[in-house]
Structure 1
């Protein structure tokens, strides 16, 4: 694609300054403005769906249906969710001080916009991962600068054209370009930087953010593992894993990167792969319309080189797939066996694959698997245990660090706006989606409103009265302020009451559960 549409680097400081000038007028703060912009985004997605899915097809060979479902529909749902809940999210949140000292006061948490925020989108889901954070930024009342990825050029150029037609272009700016444009943006002062991408660029962003003490939200990735137990439903597990691996040709930040399979079910696991692939993509995946392509020659060549290097490792063999075609950047889903966790020995274990290569590691003991994953010291964005044994799932969930967990499935929780989505450690920091995104782009300000009268109560805190160790004020202060923890028996009893209350409520015993809940709450004040 041509670079003629790139935002001139020289224009970027003025563009950011214009957004700040608009924000300073206060126009973005009223809920009416926020709703208007969200509705405008919805209208854009509704009216321009055909053009959007066409651009996604040109960039990634996503079918119109995949583009509509995984990008357009998800963002439309996120907008509707924000519109339905915006007033509640923005309302002052009453706070219980938990002390009689402040019983006469009004305590609140109010959420205020941060200011001018920078959203840096990415190429693999150029609608979902660009407009999604922008929804949160707008809902929170910010002015925003959206940086579009040059890798998915058709979609970026379409958004560059469409967004100014629909949203308030004085408060919501769009920048399109590559490294020079991103560098120029990072030299500007923002009140938050939201980035979706990889850890290498994230470090560059954090370094730039230090200059202005700018907070960051980083949505990264990592090598998200799948752990298949011997008690898993293997046919279902394989179909779901291969679905998660082939959506967007594996170019998904929460795609399954590699799979641990218990040795006792490994043969069955491999045998189910061709069946699953036929059910998902038909008899000839190279010719089916359902399987996307690799986004660029650079990414295609990276995958080819990685696979070639892995296949010369003794003991490694292809279980399924292995074919690729540079002409249209087709890379067949490729399942490998004979791989171990040793990244020095196995190229496919060194970094996030971000493509349709799937190494399989056979194991005997899940405790050793957990220890091996933890030893990497790089928490992934997702974790996928498969088992019909709840104890196995809990062991994996509690034993492996990851940003998000889905048991017995993959990917689907990303579309649930009531759940936070975000990484930890190498897979990112901060979270968003729904209210969590609103909070990420907001400053939570504590507000305390006290009576202007009742000075006789305040007299007790002033120095001459309070600092007299024999005086009444000092004794009252010690009584109210110097707290001690209760006994372990008390905490155990309260924990028991809480569990019983939850169990009764779940089974329909609401009246008794309510009484126990009141007792628990009153004793905990």
Structure 2
């Protein structure tokens, strides 16, 4: 927060030139139901650190988390500066129009569009963290066992409820056969073999290769892998915050890039390959909020990298010209017992 001196030119040699950081004012933070504590408190910490007041609105879908934050925040933070409101989704555009100094929204593209329109009427700056379908390309030249373990963890942890998890796999048919088998082994290690009846969206998309069991009353869906998927399938048209991973086959990296670029810009792009040229090509020829090679999710855990989307996946929290890239190599083989 200290003033930052800037370089002077000939006409300002004798002057004192510097930039001063000032708090924006009051920030309206709208949390999402996916990771409801994180998506509420992380933006709040940033707002407080920059000297702002804030009003926090947890997701209406996470009733118990919302009630907990509504009860706890006043016990620890100054109630003159920080409040928690329990507003419904349909009320949010009207609240935004009350004129804040910044709005931070996490949610769907449809709701984000409404928030952005409401904020535009008062020229309020907005940060949007929106859902997207994150592609993951798996090259023919990679360690299948390690790749399977890393993708399985990234897709299925937290019951698949993660903004940055890989949403679908793009790979050659021969790679799919090996990778599905390796992931089946991983899922047995991670979760065991207990399973029940399938969820309806699974029956409408491709073929269930692993898992597919569900107990609606218990809100349980087994870690599931789908094959024979095409881009018109229902699961490719919707954001799926669940433990389901579809496979689409491509002939090579060029076809994978073409497929990725036909879709809306994703929050993340992932790639697994031991060939640096393949990784570089994917970095240079795709656009996303972030990129990570030979692993998943890790780029979002690095506090030194900004986090956010691009296009329909949202707006960057920091510099709009920055796309965080996390290149991890080489892969280390980890046996699947």
* Contact 1:92–1:110 (Cα < 8 Å) also in 2: yes
Within 5 A, what are the aligned runs for 1:363-512? 363-376=250-263, 378-431=264-317
Measured in 2, the distance between the counterparts of 1:234 and 1:305 equals 30
Pairing 1:108–2:18 present: yes
2:236 corresponds to? 349
Within 5 A, what are the aligned runs for 1:256-267? 256-267=166-177
Within 5 A, what are the aligned runs for 1:75-94? 90-94=1-5
Q: CA deviation at 1:425?
A: 0.2
Measured in 2, the distance between the counterparts of 1:281 and 1:326 equals 18
From 27, 34, 42, the counterpart of 1:132? 42
1:43 corresponds to? none
From 176, 196, 201, the counterpart of 1:306? 201
* Contact 1:383–1:406 (Cα < 8 Å) also in 2: yes
**Secondary structure at 1:383 match in 2:** strand
Measured in 2, the distance between the counterparts of 1:118 and 1:247 equals 30
* Contact 2:33–2:59 (Cα < 8 Å) also in 1: yes
Measured in 2, the distance between the counterparts of 1:115 and 1:417 equals 24
Q: TM-score, normalised by structure 1?
A: 0.59
Measured in 2, the distance between the counterparts of 1:137 and 1:319 equals 45
Q: CA deviation at 1:242?
A: 1.1
* Contact 2:289–2:316 (Cα < 8 Å) also in 1: no
Measured in 2, the distance between the counterparts of 1:183 and 1:161 equals 24
Measured in 2, the distance between the counterparts of 1:182 and 1:213 equals 16
Pairing 1:330–2:220 present: yes
From 216, 235, 260, the counterpart of 2:145? 235
Select the structure that is richer in helix. Answer: 1
Measured in 2, the distance between the counterparts of 1:259 and 1:391 equals 20
Q: CA deviation at 1:261?
A: 1.7
2:333 corresponds to? none
From 98, 101, 107, the counterpart of 1:188? 98
Q: TM-score, normalised by structure 2?
A: 0.90
Which runs of 5 or more structure 2 residues have no equivalent in the other structure?
Answer: 320-337
Measured in 1, the distance between the counterparts of 2:304 and 2:286 equals 23
The count of residues paired between Structure 1 and Structure 2 equals: 318
* Contact 1:229–1:386 (Cα < 8 Å) also in 2: yes
Measured in 1, the distance between the counterparts of 2:39 and 2:207 equals 35
Pairing 1:117–2:36 present: no
Within 5 A, what are the aligned runs for 1:9-88? none
Q: CA deviation at 1:318?
A: 1.1
Which runs of 5 or more structure 1 residues have no equivalent in the other structure?
Answer: 1-89, 287-302, 311-315, 437-525
2:117 corresponds to? 207
From 254, 268, 273, the counterpart of 2:178? 268
1:480 corresponds to? none
Q: CA deviation at 1:334?
A: 1.5
Q: CA deviation at 1:321?
A: 0.8
RMSD: 1.7
* Contact 2:195–2:211 (Cα < 8 Å) also in 1: no
